[in-house]
Amino acid sequence: MKAETKSFLMQFITGTAFGAGAMALIFALCGNIFKDAGGALGVALLVGWIFIAIAVAALLQIILHEAGHLIFGLLTGYRFLSFRAGNIAIVKQDGKLKLRKYSIAGTGGQCLLSPPDKEAADMPFFWYNAGGVLMNLITAAICTLVLLTTDLHYTADVFLTMMLVMGLLFAILNGIPMTSAGAGNDGQNIKALLRDRGLTVHLKRQLLAAEAISKGLRLSEMPEDYFINDECTAYSDYIRMSSALTHLGLVIDKMQFDEALQTARKYMEHADEMLPLLKKELTCEYLFLLMVTDGDNSLDINRYWNKELEQYAETYSRFMTSKSRLLFAKALKIDGDRDKASAILQETKRKQDGYMYPGEARSDVAIMEYVMQQYDNKQ
C-alpha cells in the first residue's frame, strides 16, 4: 500500500472517530446553553460565537502544542532554535530573536531546538517529542476542571468547551502514531525512535544542520559529520529519508549536478513509497536537476512538472529559496526567459538575509548565479 493511501486511511478513520466523539461532547456540554441564548437572534449570535471560539481555540492549541515541545525540550537539555505558529516564526539568529515568515505544507506550527551536547545514542528524544501532546492534554484537563467546578457565563462555557475539544483533537492527531501533513507525527517519531535508536544519529545531524543554516552557513560549509552519505533504502522512513535529502542538498550546493541527478533518479524510482511531503520535495529537486544538466530530459520534465507542482513552488517560494531556484531554472532553461530568471535571482538575493534560513538563501543565490553564468557562456 502506498504511503499516501496509508496516511489517508489512518487520518480518515481517526478523524471520523474523533468527529463523532467531539460532536457528542459538544452536545453534552453546550446543549443546555442554547436555552440561555434568548430567542432567535441570541441563538444566531451564539452559533457565530461558537465558530469564532473554534478558530481561536485551534490557534491557541497550536501555540500551546509547540510551547509544550519548547518547554519539555529545554528541560531535557535542548537549546532554542525557532518557534513557529502558522507562518509566523521566531528564530534565533546572531544571538538575537528575530521575526520571520516560514511555512511547511500542511503543518500548523513547528518548534526546532538544537540538540544537547551528548552522543547521538544518548540523546533524549521522548519528552521533546511528547511535550506538545502533554501540553494539549494538560490544557484540556484544566478546561474540564473549570467547566465542572465553576458557574461562568455561557459564552465562557462555549470557549472553554472548544479549548477542551481542540486540545483533545491535537493530542489525538499528534499522539497516535500516524502520518500527519505528509510527515510522521509526534507519536510516529517516538515510536520510530524507540524501535530504532540508530535514528537518533540522523535526528541529531538534522537538527545541527538546521541550526547551522539558520546561522547563515551553507550545507557545503558545514562539517562533514553533519551528513550521512549512505544511500537510503528505507524510503518510507521519514527521518532517514530526510537525512538522505539533506545529503542530496549538499551535493547540489557543491554544484555537482550530474552526481546529484543520478542519486535523485534512484530515489524517484521509489517516490511512491515516501511520505507525501518528502516525495514533493524530492520531485522539486529532481526537476531542478533535470533542467540544469545536459541531455534531453524533456520527457521526465513534462511528466513531473504540472499545475499542482508549479502552484506548490510558487506558494512556498515566499519562504523557501529552493522553490525560487526551481522557478528560476524553469524560466531560464525551459522557457528561455532570461529576464524573468534574472528577476527571480535578484529578488532572492535582495531578500536573502531576511529568510528564516539565510544559509539556504546564500546557497540558492550562489547556485542560480552559477547556472546563469553557465547559460550565458553557451549563448
Output the pLDDT for position 43: 58
Q: Which stretches of the chain drop beneath a pLDDT of 70?
A: 1-45, 106, 180-183
Output the pLDDT for position 32: 56
Looking up cell 511535550, which residue turns up? 131
Output the pLDDT for position 5: 47
The helix/strand/coil state of 89 is strand
Output the pLDDT for position 259: 96
Query: Which residues have CB under 8 Å from 103's CB, separation 6+?
Result: 86, 87, 316, 318, 319
Output the pLDDT for position 21: 57
Instruction: Yes or no: say if 185 and 177 are a contact pair by the CB < 8 Å rule.
Output: yes
pLDDT in tens, 282-307: 999 999 999 999 888 888 999 999 99
What would you measure as the largest C-alpha separation in the chain, in angstroms?
78
- Nearest one of 163, 184, 177, 319 to 239, comparing CA atoms: 184
pLDDT in tens, 119-156: 888 889 999 999 999 999 999 999 999 989 988 877 88
